[in-house]
Amino acid sequence: MRPPEKKRADCSPKTLERAAVTHQTVGHERGPLADCPDTALVPPDRDPHCPIDITLAAVAGRWTPLILREFLRRDEATYSELSAALPALSDKVLSDRLAQLTNAGVVERHRTPGWPPRVRYTLTPHGRALEPVMHAMWNWGTKTNNPSHPA
């Protein structure tokens, strides 16, 4: 006789809207950070359903968090300003990451008519909501890099 299966939490947005956000340990049976069903974690060829996967999809890529950091510092930037702030970043990768952030609703692209064309990117409120995530990454990286530093 097999032991009864543990009931896993539903990671749908409706369920998470109703859940009170509290500190939970991943794998805990209750709360918004309970394990998602395996089918919700990495659905093949579909949009992510698990909140962590959704967040990772928005900031995925080696340079994306650093580009987001620049937007959090200044709220808006041109392509040239971002390129100067991140000189190790190739033009192709910067273009790809800006398109990714635009598609995710994190930044908006504003084109001014005329010649030469002027394009300015601005951080959206949806993008500004990622600031605590970036602070958590900063704190974790600081603590990991220097264990004696309080994060």
Please tell me the predicted confidence (pLDDT) of residue 74.
Answer: 93
User: Within the chain, where are the H helices?
Assistant: 13-18, 38-41, 51-59, 64-74, 79-85, 91-103, 125-128, 131-145
> For position 33, what pLDDT does the model report?
59
Span 78-90, mean pLDDT?
95
Burial of 1 (0-12, 13-18, 19+ CB in 10 A): exposed
Domain boundaries along the sequence of the chain = 9-50, 60-151
Q: What is the pLDDT of residue 20?
A: 37
Dig out the tokens for 22 from the structure: 């509290």
Is it the case that residue 114 has pLDDT exceeding 50?
Answer: yes
Cis status of the peptide bond prior to 125, with omega within 30 of 0: no
* Cβ neighbours around 9 below 10 Å, total: 19
Integer angstrom CA distances of residue 44 from 29, 34, 52, 65, 81: 25, 21, 16, 24, 36
Residue 24: per-residue pLDDT: 41
Domain 60-151 is found in CATH 3.40.1080.10: no
Higher pLDDT, 18 or 149: 149
pLDDT the model gives residue 43: 54
Split at pLDDT 50, 70, 90, the class of 117 is: confident
| Tens digit of each residue's pLDDT (9 = 90 or more) over 7-55 | 444 444 444 344 333 334 444 455 555 666 555 555 566 677 778 888 8
Q: Which residue has the higher pLDDT, 96 or 33?
A: 96
Closest CA to 64 of 146, 133, 112: 133
Task: Evaluate if residue 73 carries a pLDDT over 70.
Answer: yes
What is the per-residue pLDDT for 116?
A: 86
Tokens of 43: 């659905």
Q: What is the spatial distance between Cα 80 and Cα 132, in angstroms, rounded to a whole number?
A: 27
Average pLDDT over every residue of 62-87: 95
Candidates 107, 133, 109; CA nearest to 51 is: 133
- The pLDDT score that the predictor gives to residue 97 is 96
